[in-house]
Amino acid sequence: ILNTLIECNLKEDIHLNQSTSTARLQEFGLKIEVVRQEQQNKLMSRLINPY
């Protein structure tokens, strides 16, 4: 999860460390899914409306 957060540029926003609880990691996992969905929506929008 930490690597994915770094890839999504969220690590600075949520201040993770090695002792982060499982519940918090699950919460961040939901954020990751939201970010991924938003990125996918942008890509699809560009494919449909390239201009």
With beta carbons less than 8 A apart as the criterion, state whether 1 and 25 touch.
yes
pLDDT of residue 10: 57
Domain map of the chain by residue range? Answer: 2-48
Instruction: Find where tokens 């991924």 sit.
Output: 36
pTM: 0.46
Residues 9-41 pLDDT 10s: 655 555 555 566 777 767 777 777 788 888 888
Greatest alpha-carbon span in the chain: 46
